Amino acid sequence: MITIAGVKTLLSEVVQSIKTDPKRKWEKSFDCYLIKMNGQTYATMDALMTKLGEYVANEEGKTSVQLARARGDGSTGNSAMTLAPIARASVNAADVAAIASLMTTGDVGNGITNKSAHQTDPETGRIKGGAVSVSEFYVNGAAGRRATKRTEGTKVSYYYSKSHTANTYQYARLT
């Protein structure tokens, strides 16, 4: 998470804020730099954008190898940083009640089963860090969709995957 003006903010929330603000322009490399900025504090969103701008400005004249080294690993294509958030009322119709139950109780019951540890951070799509706890849930059975609960500090967020083919997920953040 990144703290902006005293508010702990998920990386995917920062991405959404930048992409939906008409006075800001999203740069493809921002996602890599936001991951590097994870855990940092900024007085304002403008201060965060200034830091992102500094990273992009430092790319000038670098080779592709130097750029790869400077950027590091970005998010994966199936992560919450990449996928648009989804309203919990607009998930698969058969899952709406189960997702509502999960987001209210945080645990199994009412169509949510099989809470188990999960090693992938849904925000980035990469292996989770030590400060992050992630649980996977079956939504309406083992053959169905998946929900993921992510906890970092006191902030809890939920993610939905409309399929689970070949053990792959889509981590759309539920709103």
Same domain flag for 92 and 66: no
Summarize pLDDT for 95-126 with one digit per residue, the tens.
999 999 999 998 899 889 988 899 999 999 99
Residue 83 lies in a domain: no
Same domain flag for 7 and 37: yes
Please state, as a whole number, how many other Cβ atoms lie within 10 Å of the Cβ of residue 33: 22
Same domain flag for 20 and 45: yes
Identify the pLDDT of residue 165.
Answer: 66
State the residue for tokens 């099989």: 114
- HSE at residue 36, side-chain half, CA atoms within 13 A, is 17
Summarize pLDDT for 138-150 with one digit per residue, the tens.
999 887 799 999 9
Are residues 127 and 175 in contact, defined by beta-carbon separation less than 8 angstroms?
no
Same domain flag for 106 and 168: yes
pLDDT at 62 over 90: yes
Are residues 98 and 140 in contact, defined by beta-carbon separation less than 8 angstroms?
yes
Q: Where does a domain end: 71, 97, 130?
A: 71
pTM of the full predicted structure?
Answer: 0.90
Cβ density class 19-31: b for 16+ within 10 Å, e for less: eeeeeeeeeebbb
Domain span at residue 21 reads: 2-71
Structure tokens given for 71: 């950027």
